[in-house]
Amino acid sequence: MTLTPSHIEFENFCNQLIGFTITKVEYSEIDYEPTRAIPYYPTQFQNLHSVDFSIFLHTDKNNLIEIYWDGQFFEYGIGVKLDEKSDFSGFITWDVSESELWKKFIGTTITDIKISWVRVNSNEQKSGKKESFIYPQDISLMFTNHKKVFISAAGFLEEGDSEVYGMLDNLSVTDNEYLARQVKMIT
């Protein structure tokens, strides 16, 4: 698979996150129940969360990293922002810093980032136009404690599903590589 200059630019942008120390983690979800705040990110799997659209990583230098589903390369890929305003509004934010998934990463520093690029082919029914896209399907972050977080632009279609599906406006996140492979977050 040949990456274009814009793919390389995205990788270089992501690599600048190396060296940031995480102090707080938040998820952003659609506010489904405005009169009664309920988190919807837990799943049937321990330490696997399903997030509507954004994960915010706060740093010790007051930087804000946003990992979200994005359409830069293809409609349902991973996007990353640094110190930029989120494109989303009307959401509720949950502090998940003390969750089993994230508490081991608080106070640790990002040491490496890996992006998984995927090729998808589309075929427009009416015109017959065929296109091919290469987009970031998932990202893994390695930290100074030698642990990883896996974030994929994928989600469960139904509660109780045993695997996630790509091409959804959702993020799946876990620190368990075996589980990430089992539910098809990563390959």
The pTM of the full predicted model, rounded to 2 decimals, is 0.93
Q: What was the pLDDT predicted at 93?
A: 93
Q: Encode pLDDT of 18-36 as tens digits.
A: 999 999 999 999 888 888 8
Strands (E) in 45-179, as ranges, are 48-51, 54-59, 64-70, 77-82, 91-95, 110-123, 130-143, 148-152, 154-155, 165-166, 171-174
Average pLDDT over residues 57-62: 98
Q: Tell me the domain boundaries of the chain.
A: 5-32+43-182
Q: Which residue has the tokens 């995205």?
A: 10
Q: Encode pLDDT of 81-134 as tens digits.
A: 999 988 777 789 999 999 999 999 999 999 999 999 999 988 888 888 898 999
Q: Which residue has the tokens 């330490």?
A: 47
